[in-house]
Amino acid sequence: AQSVTQLDSHVSVSEGTPVLLRCNYSSSYSPSLFWYVQHPNKGLQLLLKYTSAATLVKGINGFEAEFKKSETSFHLTKPSAHMSDAAEYFCVVSGVRNTDKLIFGTGTRLQVFP
Partner 1 sequence: GAVVSQHPSRVICKSGTSVKIECRSLDFQATTMFWYRQFPKQSLMLMATSNEGSKATYEQGVEKDKFLINHASLTLSTLTVTSAHPEDSSFYICSATRGRDRGRSLQFFGPGTRLTVL
Our finding on whether 43 is near partner 1 (CB under 8 A) is yes
Binder of partner 1 out of 46, 54, 60, 83 (CB under 8 A): 46
Q: Per rule CB under 8 A, is residue 107 in the interface with partner 1?
A: yes
Figure out which of the listed residues 36, 50, 67, 74 binds partner 1, where binding follows CB under 8 A: 36
Segment holding 44, helix H or strand E = strand 44-50
Among 95, 74, 97, 88, residue whose Cα is nearest residue 2: 95
Residues with Cβ < 8 Å from 29, sequence gap 6 or more? 97
Alpha carbon of 72 to those of 38, 68, 83: distances in Å?
A: 24, 6, 30
Residue 100, CB-side half-sphere exposure with 13 Å CA sphere = 0
Q: Using the rule CB under 8 A, is 22 a contact of partner 1? A: no
In the complex, minimum distance from the CB of residue 105 to partner 1, in angstroms, rounded to a whole number: 6
Q: Residue 34 or residue 78: which is nearer to partner 1 going by CB? A: 34
Instruction: Decide whether 17 or 55 has the Cβ nearer to partner 1.
Output: 55
Please give the DSSP secondary-structure letter assigned to residue 8: -
By CB under 8 A, name the binding residues for partner 1. 32, 36, 41-46, 49, 51, 90, 94-95, 97-102, 104-107, 109
